[in-house]
């Protein structure tokens, strides 16, 4: 048998060969990236990040470590356990100059807490989540001198649900964890004492 003759030019140039190889490697890399993304989503399933108010130390890192600006962590108010106090330590500084709505008397640096008169001596306090940055100053004040009706929570309408949460990585109390979406706290859900 006679060996097959190899043609000097089989129709594929070196440039074409390298181009096809690079395109093929690109397709393989793209497929691998898509596979990794799908595997990551499958590993998390239908879960979301959850902040446990009982573990939260109000350190302020939620405001500065979130990839969202402002943070996806917001203050929520459990109205059913609020005292509607004239001197609300979640709203006012611990020793305010006066019980007025002047900025120097307020805990919140962005005026995200709206104070409304109900009847003497009661006031209602609502959180404007568009202004809230998750700094926890109001939560700390409410917990230190009040009944703890203000608490931090992740607003899932804002949260990107990152696979790796930068707040969770920075949280000294490990107060953030993944939970099934169906079990996540609902905004304004009242937390009971001791939970």
For the whole model, what pTM was predicted? 0.69
**Average pLDDT value for the chain:** 82
* Terminal-residue alpha carbon distance, the chain: 87
> Would you kindly state where each structural domain of the chain is located, as residue ranges?
14-45, 47-183
Location of structure tokens 């006066």: 98
pLDDT per residue as tens digits for the range 10-55: 566 778 778 777 787 766 766 665 555 444 444 446 999 999 999 9
The answer to whether residue 101 scores a pLDDT higher than 50 is yes
The answer to whether residue 60 scores a pLDDT higher than 70 is yes
Mean pLDDT of 130-141: 95
The 3-state DSSP class for residue 55 equals coil
Q: Which residue has the higher pLDDT, 81 or 11?
A: 81
pLDDT per residue as tens digits for the range 136-160: 999 999 998 888 899 999 999 999 9
Mean pLDDT of 109-130: 93
- Whether the CB-CB separation of 142 and 87 falls below 8 Å is answered with no
- Whether the CB-CB separation of 177 and 168 falls below 8 Å is answered with yes
Nearest to 65 by CA among 135, 156, 157, 129: 135
């Amino acid at each position: 048998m006679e060996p097959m003759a190899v043609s000097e030019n089989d129709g594929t140039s070196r440039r074409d060969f390298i181009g096809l190889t690079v395109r093929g490697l690109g397709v393989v890399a793209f497929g691998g990236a898509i596979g990794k993304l799908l595997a990551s989503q499958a590993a998390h399933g239908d879960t979301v990040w959850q902040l446990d108010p009982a573990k939260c130390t109000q350190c302020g890192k939620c405001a500065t470590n979130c990839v969202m600006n402002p943070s996806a962590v917001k203050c929520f108010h459990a109205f059913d356990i609020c005292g509607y106090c004239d001197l609300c330590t979640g709203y006012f500084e611990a020793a305010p100059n006066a019980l007025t709505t002047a900025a120097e008397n307020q805990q919140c640096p962005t005026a995200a807490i709206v104070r409304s008169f109900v009847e003497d001596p009661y006031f209602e306090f609502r959180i404007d989540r568009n202004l809230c940055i998750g700094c926890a100053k109001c939560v700390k004040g409410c917990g230190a001198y009040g009944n703890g009706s203000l608490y931090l929570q992740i607003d899932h309408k804002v949260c990107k649900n990152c696979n790796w949460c930068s707040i969770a990585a920075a949280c000294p109390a490990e107060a953030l964890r993944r939970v099934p979406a169906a079990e996540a706290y609902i905004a304004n859900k009242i937390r009971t004492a001791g939970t």
